[in-house]
Structure 1
Amino acid sequence: MMERDDLIGHADTLRNAEILVVEDSLTQAKRLERVLRENGFAVRVARDGQAGLDAAREQRPTVIITDVMMPRMDGFEMCRCIKEDRALREIPVMVLTSLSDPQDIIRGLHCGADNFLTKPYGEEYLLRRLRHILSNQELRREGHSQMSVEVFFAGERHKLTADRMQIIDLLLSTFEAAVMQTEQIERLNGETRDAREEAKQLQENFRTLLENLEDAVAVVGQDGLVRYANGAAHLLLGDAVREGTAFPFPLTEEKREVSLVLPDGTPLIADLRVTGSTWNRELVSLATLRDVTETALMRERLKQEALTDYLTGLYNRRGFMTLGEDRLQLAARLGQTLACLFLDLDGFKHVNDTLGHDEGDEVLRDTAEALKETFRASDLIGRIGGDEFAVLLLCDESDQVETLRTRLETALETVNQRTSRPYRLALSMGLATKAPGEVLSLEDLMDTADKRMYKDKIARKGSEAR
C-alpha cells in the first residue's frame, strides 16, 4: 500500500501534470484540450510532429499525446526523435491511432511509444490511460533497462529494442483496445440482432394491419403484375389479384370510382386510389379500393331526386331542361326533327278546389302513367309545374306526333273508364317542332308549344260550350 507521503506526491503529480497535445485536426485538438482541462490538466497544443518536438524541447511536458498522420513530421517519427533525445526520452508518449493497420503496433515499438489510444476513444478511457501512465512514471524510471527482442509478426521478422515496461505497457494498451473493440462489436451485433427482430416484428405488424383492413390493398409492380394483395382484395376481386396476374384497372395516380362484380355476382362500386411506393426494394404502385356502393347509390339517388318530381316520378322542370339540351344536340347530330308537346290538365283547379289536394295528386299520378304508357322510354317526359307536362321526342315523319296524340287520348280514356271519378281526365296539347339545321333554343321551342297548347285549350272550351 502507498504511504501517506506517497499518496500526496501522487496527487500532486496528477494535479501538476502538463499534457502536450500534437494534433493537426483543429476539432480533435480542441476536444482533447477541453477534456483534459476539465479534469485539471494543463494543456499545450502543437499542430504537427515538428512543432510538437520543438514544443517539448522548449518546455518539457509530463506526457505527450500525438496523432500519427500529420504534415512535415508524423507521430511515429516525432516519438522516435523524443526517445533518442536524452533530455526528453523519459517523457511518456501516447499515440492516437485507429489500429486499422497491424503494422502500427510494430511502428509503435520501433519508435519507443509507451501507449496506444485507439480512435474513436471515450473520455473515461483516455483519463484512465493517462492516470495509469502518470502513476507508473516513477516505476518506469527505476526499472529502465533496454532489451533486444526478435519477433515474427504479420509475416515479417522484426528486431525490437525497448525496455521491458514499455513493451508491457504498449502491449497492454493494445490488448485493452482490442478488448474494447471486441465489446463494441458484440454490442453492435446485439443492437443489429435487436434491430432485425424489431424490423421483423414491424413487418409482421404491418402485414397484420394490411390483412385486417376493410379496404382492399394490392401492390402492383411497374410491369402491371400483382406482387401482393390483402384478404379484402381477394374477397372483392378473387383471382383477378392473384400474385403474378395483371391488375384489372389502369394505374393512374388519381382518385376515381370503378365498377366491378364480386365473385358471387354482386355488383359493387369502389373508390380506387393509386400511390407510388416501394416493396421489397422495388418501385411499385399501391392500389387501394374502398367499397363506396352505398355512398354512390345515395349520391345517385339524391341527384335523381334533384331532377325528378317526387309525386309522379317524371323529370321535374330542372331535370327536363338539363336533359332537354342533350336531346337538342342529339337531334342536330342525327339530323332529325325534335318535337315538343306541351300538355295541360283541363279542369285541374276545380278538382283541387272541390275534391281536395289528395284527389288532385291522384289525377297527376294517373296522367303521368298515361304519358309513360304512350311514349317511348327514350322520349323525355317531365312535369314542368302544377298541372303542366312536356314531352321531347325525336321523330322522322310528320304524322308521328299526331299518332302519339291519338295514343295519349286513348290512354286517358282507358284511365277514365277504369276509375269511377265524377269527372273526366282531359289534356290540352300544343306541338312545336325544330327541323334539322333550324336555329331554335329549347326555351323558344317550349314557348311555342306552350302558346299552341293555350290555343287548343281555348278551342276545346269553345267546342264544349257549343
Structure 2
Amino acid sequence: MSMQDGLVMEDRTAALRNASEILVVEDSLTQAKRLERLLKEHGYGVRIARNGFQGLAFAREKKPTVVITDVMMPEMDGYELCRRIKGDETLRDVPVVLLTSLSDPRDVIRGLQCGADNFLTKPYEDAHLLRRLHHILVNLELRREGHAQMTVEVFFAGQHHRLTADRIQIIDLLLSTFEAAVLQSTQLQKLNGDYRHALEEIKQAQANFRTLMETTGDAVLVVDAQGTVRYVNPAAELLFDVRAEELTGTPFLFPLEEEGKREINITSPNGDILVGDMRVVNSSWDGEVVRLVTIRDITEMVLLRERLKEEAITDPLTGLYNRRGFLMLGEERLALADRLGFSVVCLFADLDGFKAVNDTFGHEEGDRVLRETADVLRRTFRAADVLGRIGGDEFAVLLVQDGPEGIGAVMARLRHTLEQANVRNENPSVRLSLSLGVSMRLPETPCTLSELMDEADQSMYKEKIAKRKLRSET
C-alpha cells in the first residue's frame, strides 16, 4: 500500500471514529468511567448505561454504532441484552461486543447463540480493545450487506447445539476468541518467565540470608509458637557454647511473652556468666508465625557500665561512697526501714586537726590519714551499713537498727577501733581523732534524710566546739 493509500485509510478511520457512538453497558461505575474516558480520548462518542434494561432502552432511543456490554450484570445479563438487540429489526445490524472472562469455552457457544459479534476478554489491555473496535468499524459495511445466515449443528461439552449465524459473525467471533487465547498464552509465557525470574531472585535472597546468618556476630535463633528452637546460627553456637544440633528442637531457655528487648544472663557450661542484649520480633518461618530472637554479647559493656556507675558514686581516694552515692543509698535504706518498721541512725565524723596534718606533713600524709580513717569505719560497721566521705575530712554512716545492739555499743566499738589504728600508726606524730555526732530516726517520728544528716552534723559540731574549749582551758 502506497503512502497516499495509507493517508486515505487513516482519514477514513478518523471519520469513522468521529461519526461513531459507542453504547457501553456496565454495572460497575468505575469500569464504565474508565472505558468512557479511554474511548473519548480516541475520538469516539460514548453513552453509558448502568444495566441491561437501560442499555436496551438507550439503543432503541438512539441507535448506537457499536454496543460494548459486560456479560455479568444483575436482572438482564449481557447475553440476554445481545439476544434482544439482535431480535430487534432496527438494531440487529448493530455489532455487539461481549466483555467476559471466557472462563468456560461454552461462552463461545452462548455468544453464537445470542448473536454476539465479538468477545473481549477481561482484564483487557486498552490497545487490544481499540484494535478490536477499529476492526469492527472497518468491516461494518460488509456486515450491513446482509449475508445469508447459515445453520449448523455442533456437539460440544456433551450437548448438541443448533447455531444460526452469518459467516462474518462466526468468523469474527472465532477470530476474537482465538486472539483472546493467543493473548492469554502470551501472558502465561510472560508470567512463566517472571515466575522463573522470581525463583532465581528467591534463591539469591536465600543465599544472601544464609550468608548473613552465618557471618553475623549476633546470635540468631528462630523460636516457634510452642517455644521450641527451630534454627540456630553459628554465632548462637559460640554464645551458648553448644552445637546447633543440641539447641535445635529443644525449649528456648528464656521466656518470650512479648516483642521488645531486655538483658539476660547466660551461664556457660564452665560457669561463666555472660550478659546478652536480647531482642525479639514476630516473623514468619516456613509459613508459620515465629519469634525471631537476636542476642548480642554485651558482657564487657555491662562491666564497663557498672564500673562507671560505681565510679560515679564512689570516692576514689578512700573507696567509700561519695556524697552522691551516700544520698542515693541512704534513701534506699530509709525506704527499707519504713517497710520493716526499724529505726535509722546517722553518724557524722569529722577529723580533728586535719588542716594541721596537711600543713605540717603534706598532702600525701593527709591522704593517708583519710584512707586510714575510712579503713577504721569499714572495720567498725557492717557491710550493710552505708559509709561515705561527704566532704574533705567529713565522713557519714547510716545504719538500720535491725538488732538488739544500741548506738552506745556502736560508738564504743568505733573508739576502740580508732585506738587500735593509732597503736599501729606509721607516724606517731599524727594521731587519728574524730569528733562524732549522732541522730536517730524512729518509726513513729519519720523525717527526711536531709533532716537526719543536718541533726547529726549539728551534734558533731557541738562535740568539736567542746573539744576546742577543753583544749584552750588546758
For the aligned pair, the TM-score class normalised by the smaller chain equals 0.7 to 0.9
Question: In structure 1, how many angstroms separate the alpha carbons of the residues matched to 2:281 and 2:299?
Answer: 22
* Contact 2:221–2:232 (8 Å) recurs in 1: yes
User: Quick check: 1:408 aligned with 2:418?
Assistant: yes
User: Which residue does 2:177 correspond to in 1?
Assistant: 174
- Give the 5 Å matches for 1:160-199: 160-199=163-202
Residue aligning to 2:249: 244
Counterpart-to-counterpart distance in 2, 1:6 and 1:388: 110
**How far is the alpha carbon of 1:153 from its aligned partner?**
0.9
Aligned to 2:354: 348
Structure 2: 5+ residue stretches without partners: none
Q: Secondary structure at the match of 2:113?
A: helix
Of 257, 277, 299, the residue aligned with 2:305 is 299
1:229 deviation in Å?
A: 3.9
Task: Report how far residue 225 of structure 1 moved.
Answer: 3.0
Which residue in the other structure is 2:115 paired with? 112
Normalised by the length of structure 2, the TM-score is: 0.79
1:259 and 2:262 are equivalent in the alignment: no
- Runs of 5+ consecutive residues of structure 1 not aligned to the other structure: none
- Matched with 1:228 is 231
Query: Does the 8 A contact of 2:21 with 2:64 survive in 1?
Result: yes
Q: How far apart are the structure 1 equivalents of 2:165 and 2:472?
A: 141
Q: Could you tell which deviates more after superposition, 175-184 or 216-225?
A: 216-225
Instruction: Provide the C-alpha distance between the structure 1 equivalents of 2:57 and 2:379, rounded to a whole number of angstroms.
Output: 116
Secondary structure of 2:355's counterpart equals helix
Pairs within 5 Å for 1:3-22: 8=8, 11-12=11-12, 15-16=15-16, 17-22=19-24
Identity %: 57
Partner of 1:299: helix, strand, or coil?
Answer: helix
Cα distance in 2 for residues equivalent to 1:69 and 1:335: 84
Cα RMSD after superposing both structures: 4.1
Aligned mates of 2:46, 2:418 — CA distance in 1: 114
Deviation at 1:110, TM superposition (A): 2.1
Cα contact 2:26–2:73 (8 A) shared by 1? yes
Q: Quick one: structure 1 residues 355 and 174, their matched pair in 2 at CA, closer, same or farther if it must change by over 3 Å?
A: same
- Given the alignment, which residue of 453, 464, 468 partners 1:454? 464
Specify whether residues 148 and 269 from structure 1 end up closer, same or farther in structure 2 by C-alpha distance, changes over 3 A only.
same
- Partner Cα distance (2:32, 2:272) in 1: 76
8 Å contact kept, 2:350–2:395 = yes
1:426 aligns with 2:432: yes
Secondary structure of the 1:386 match is coil
- Tell me which residue corresponds to 2:218: 215
CA 392–118 in structure 1, closer or farther in 2 if over 3 Å, else same: closer
For the Cα contact (< 8 Å) 1:432–1:446, is it kept in 2?
yes
Give the CA deviation at 1:314. 1.9
SS of 2:165's partner is: strand
**Distance between the aligned counterparts of 2:3 and 2:283, measured in 1?**
73
1:319 equivalent in structure 2 = 325
Is residue 20–residue 46 contact of structure 1 (8 Å, CA) maintained in 2? no
How far apart, CA to CA, are the structure 2 residues paired with 1:65 and 1:440? 92
Give the alignment of 1:79-90 within 5 angstroms.
79-84=82-87, 88-90=91-93
Q: What amino acid maps onto 1:348 in structure 2?
A: F
User: Closer, same or farther in 2 for the Cα pair 1:240/1:437, shift >3 Å?
Assistant: farther
Q: What is the TM-score when the length of structure 1 is the normalising length? A: 0.80
Shift of 1:457: 3.7
SS in 2 for 1:352: helix
Classify 1:412/1:285 alpha carbon distance in 2 versus 1 (closer, same or farther; 3 Å).
farther
Alignment partners' CA distance in 2, 1:438 and 1:74: 91
Structure 1: which amino acid aligns with 2:249? G
SS at match of 2:436: strand
CA distance in 1, matches of 2:231, 2:336: 46
2:152 pairs with 1:156: no
Give, as a single letter, the amino acid of the residue that structure 2 aligns with 1:152: F
Per the alignment, do residues 332 and 175 of structure 1 end up closer, same or farther by CA in structure 2, a change over 3 Å counting? closer
Paired residues of 1:240 and 1:246 also in contact (CA < 8 A): no
> Per-residue CA shift, 1:189-215, capped at 9, x if unaligned?
333443444345445434544444433
Native 8 Å contact 1:218 1:233 kept in 2: yes
